[in-house]
Amino acid sequence: MEIACNVTRLAPAVEQLVNLATAHQWGGRPVAPRTGAELVDELGELLSSATVAALRALPGSGDELEGLARQIRAVVVASSAQENAALINALIERYHSRPYLVEDVGQPFHLHFHGYGGSVVDALGGEFAAMLALVVDGYGAHRFGGCHADGCDAIYIDLTRNGSRRYCSPACTARAKTAAYRDRKRQDTTAAAR
């Protein structure tokens, strides 16, 4: 289904945007949130060359992307499904997300969702808002959140089959498992010493 393909194509870009612009700790290390042109350049690896060119040509696009990232972070870390849905609906309304059919080279017509407004960031905002709504609709509101690893405030969007993702990256998963193992060993050693 093409909608699922759009979700899987966009989820890494949404994660990257939020993590680059809003994380102060990532993977157990302090990081400085990216701003301005630096944010556009690093996010550009996950966007089309035309979108990156449009972002670079738009003065202030990095600042607009930072605002979008903060709004998406609020959605991802919402405390309830109801709050999550309300925030996504507000994003859809804010960015005027609307579907339209596109025929890419070698592919049949399929849906894209772009916002309309004054900038390419508005278009991305509409697309990202629709993607978040499709994740909730197709997978459930529990499919995104903040990384559970200590020393990391990055986010994740879980599109796995079993919905078990709780970390932003394999590195944070490994760090958390290692910490849990060491904690169990300490507890076993303490219990054996009694």
| Tens-digit pLDDT profile for residues 80-125 | 999 999 999 999 999 999 888 888 777 788 777 877 777 899 999 9
Q: What angle do CA 174, 152, 72 make, to 5 degrees?
A: 120
- What confidence category does residue 3 fall into, taking pLDDT thresholds of 50, 70 and 90? low
Separation CA 116–CA 101 (nearest Å)? 15
The pLDDT value given to residue 105 = 74
Of residues 152 and 185, more confidence is placed in 152
The pLDDT value given to residue 111 = 79
pLDDT at 24 over 70: yes
Ordered by where they begin, the domains of the chain are 2-193 (1.10.3300.10)
Full-model pTM: 0.88
| Tens-digit pLDDT profile for residues 173-185 | 999 999 888 888 8
- Per-residue HEC secondary structure of the chain comes to CHHHHHHHHHHHHHHHHHHHHHCCEECCEECCCCCHHHHHHHHHHHCCHHHHHHHHHCCCHHHHHHHHHHHHHHHHCCCCHHHHHHHHHHHHHHHCCEEEEECCCCCCCEEEEECCCCCHHHHHHHHHHHHHHHHHHHCCHHHEEECCCCCCCCEEECCCCCCCCCCCCHHHHHHHHHHHHHHHHHHHHHHHHC
Separation CA 12–CA 1 (nearest Å)? 18
